[in-house]
Chains A and B, each alone.
Chain A
Amino acid sequence: MNGRLRYATIGAALVLLATLPWWVGNSYYINIASQILLFAVFALALNVLVGYAGLVSLGHAGLFAIAGYTAALLLQAGYGHFAADTAAIVVTLAASAIFAVLALRSTGIGFLMITLALGQIVWGIAYRWASLTGGDNGVNVTTRPSPFGISLANAPSFYFASLVVFLLAFATMAVFVRSPFGASLRGTRDQARRMNALGYNVWLIRFVAIVFSGFWTGISGLLFIYYNQFVSPQVSALTASAEVLLMVISGGTATLLGPIAGAIIVVVMKNVVSAYVERWNLVLGLIFIVIITFMPDGLVPGTVRLCRWSWHVIRWNGKPAPAMEKHSPGAPP
């Protein structure tokens, strides 16, 4: 029964996603849906590290920007889409490998700090090396590719392209996480020493995870530059890394749906907030603090807990179950 319900939910979600342009209609909202999908790919990629490997990277916007800039600069130089995109992915994989070798000199805080510094290097190149990257002016991407002769110029067609990439990413992640390799990655997160003693090469497992994460980060970077048809140093800034980290954390780490929920929350909020106030960074910071203080395990697990808790409240005729009381999400800790 549970399995059937699950397939029904997945089927319904797929139908909803596949028909989205028809029931949404307005191309502004279709574009937001494309944004959500591309950032969901990015968040899923980062979640491999944050959630499953226990390695928090604050430099992923750097990898995202490397893919975007490589493709944009090659397109500007007159190369075709296929050549530019392939080169961008190869460069991003190489950069991920370099990031991995350097950052894996350490774990925990050290890993985070090194990735932050590496991300800043990319930002420094994008922003200051103006003769190469155009500095603050960024690089324009004049055309979108037409895979199999299908033009991606309008909003619905780009949405479908993003949807295909997103579904591919999601399927790969689902397989990756459930595979023996995914299990060993979780092992290195929880018990690195024991994994080592059992004969696993902890360093190599982490290295592969970082490169895998870098690959999907690069793909989402490519989607991003085709979506915006523009790339600027902004995409490599620490704020960008923090935003995607917020997607992972707010949705709940080490879940497949968490980063997607996080991407929806952050993208929608960013669009809504930006429409009314200029203070997106302030809101972003406040969300971080509120989440850390009240829902430290993320919104999806937090909401699940909230539902369970309310269920208990209902069952106990309005009296909260004693054991659950201290988990009350609204209560000041």
Chain B
Amino acid sequence: MMTQLTSAQAVILAINSFAFGGLLFLLSAGFSLIFGLMRIPNLMHGSFFMLGAYFGVSLLDWGVNFWVAALLSGLAMAVIGGIIERFLLRRLEGQVLPQVLLTLGFAFIIADICLMVWTGDPWQPTAPPSLRGAVQAFGLFFPLYRLAILAVAVAVAIALWIMVDWTRLGAMIRAGVDDPPIARVVGIKVSQLFTLIFCLGAALAAFAGVMGAPFLSVYPGLDFEMLPLALIVVILGGTGSLLGALVGSFLLGFLYNFGQAMFPDLAYVILFLPMLLVLVLRPQGLFGRVVA
């Protein structure tokens, strides 16, 4: 059942892999922060992605500029995520099972509302006009939009890295994660910080949803297809590690695209293999810290 690839096909697949990896990074960076830093098993992260994508679809339908739509969708999701975190999740701090049920409950509700509002048909908006073509180099055509996704993902990765590692806010986040009581004692408002991280994660997921819409299309079930991918990225890269999320995302992007081209029946299952290997050989993840 294995299909042989020509080198031109392989190059195109590689580009798709980078683009898909970029999307996965946007999705899982937030998931990794929420799961790794706040210890919240946010099972509605895939729903943020899907709902964000649907928001983007509607905004684009009304003639809004693509990037404005992506930002607005991210903003809307930040507000929704913030409300859920602040008023419902916050009261369940430290209780894993209730948090799981609450986020799962919201995931089901969001999925059903999306089905009601946007129907069961897939939506595939077009890419922004300036990015529709392809650039030619080395005798090959590179689709511009996929390169743009990659560029955005890299920019976000750098911005997140600077934020967490080099700013006062980042230092406060790291302090709040390492030792919340002491962080509170020295005057850091840990609870507000966590809400901020949650909003940021939700916004990134929605932004990724809009970015991915012209590439993956938006359809019911996308939420629970993306959630395990974010999960694998985090298990692969190590919880709370942005570098791990980046490496894990691209690894998964390659596996997904090449797997689908070479073993179409098993593409989805192949995605989980590196996760199983990492679990057995290095449970803390490739870039994870061992927590005492």
Contacts and interface: CB of A to CB of B under 8 A. Distances in A.
Contacts of A132: 265
Contacts of A296: 98
Nearest to A248: B97
A282 B112 contact: yes
A267 interface: no
B277 to A, nearest CB: 10
Contacts of B131: none
A113 B231 contact: yes
Given A117-B228, A117-B231, A128-B269, A105 B108 contact: no
A236 to B, nearest CB: 12
Contacts of A108: 96
A238 B224 contact: yes
Given A56-B97, A124-B272, A289 B106 contact: yes
Contact of B105 (A129, A285, A333): A285
Nearest to B268: A124
B106 A120 contact: no
B57 interface: no
A128 B279 contact: no
Nearest to B221: A237
Interface string A14-56: 0000000000000000000000000000000000001000001
Contacts of B116: 279
A125 B279 contact: no
Contacts of B279: 102, 105, 114
Contacts of A58: 100
A127 B267 CA distance: 11
B94 to A, nearest CB: 11
Contacts of A127: 268
Nearest to B91: A333
Interface residues of B, number: 41
Contact of A120 (B102, B228, B283): B228
Contact of B109 (A106, A121, A129, A282): A282
A286 B109 contact: yes
A19 B43 CA distance: 43
Contacts, number: 111
A152 interface: no
Contacts of B267: 128
B224 A288 contact: no
Nearest to A237: B224
A289 B105 contact: yes
A239 interface: yes
A108 B100 CA distance: 11
B97 A129 contact: no
A304 to B, nearest CB: 19
Contacts of A116: 43, 228, 231
A296 B101 CA distance: 10
Contacts of A129: 265-266, 269
A131 B1 CA distance: 11
Contacts of B111: 281
B228 A292 contact: no
Nearest to A242: B104
Chain B interface, DSSP helix/strand/loop, else mixed: helix
Interface residues of A, number: 45
Contact of B104 (A113, A121, A288): A288
B272 A288 contact: no
Q: Interface majority SS on A: helix, strand, loop or mixed?
A: helix
Nearest to B234: A113
A239 B266 CA distance: 22
B235 interface: yes
Nearest to A289: B105
B35 interface: yes
B113 interface: yes
A92 B9 CA distance: 40
B108 A109 contact: no
A282 B108 contact: yes
B92 interface: yes
B275 interface: yes
Contacts of A124: 268-269, 271-272
B269 A125 contact: yes
A289 B265 contact: no
B1 to A, nearest CB: 8
A202 interface: no
Nearest to A279: B112
A245 interface: yes
13 contacts: A112-B100, A114-B235, A116-B43, A120-B224, A128-B265, A128-B269, A129-B269, A239-B108, A249-B97, A285-B107, A288-B105, A289-B109, A292-B98
Interface of B: 35, 39, 41, 43, 88, 91-92, 96-98, 100-102, 104-109, 111-113, 116, 224, 228, 231-232, 234-235, 265-269, 271-272, 275-276, 279-280, 283
Given A112-B100, A120-B228, A132-B265, 6 more contacts: A58-B100, A112-B41, A113-B231, A128-B267, A282-B113, A286-B109
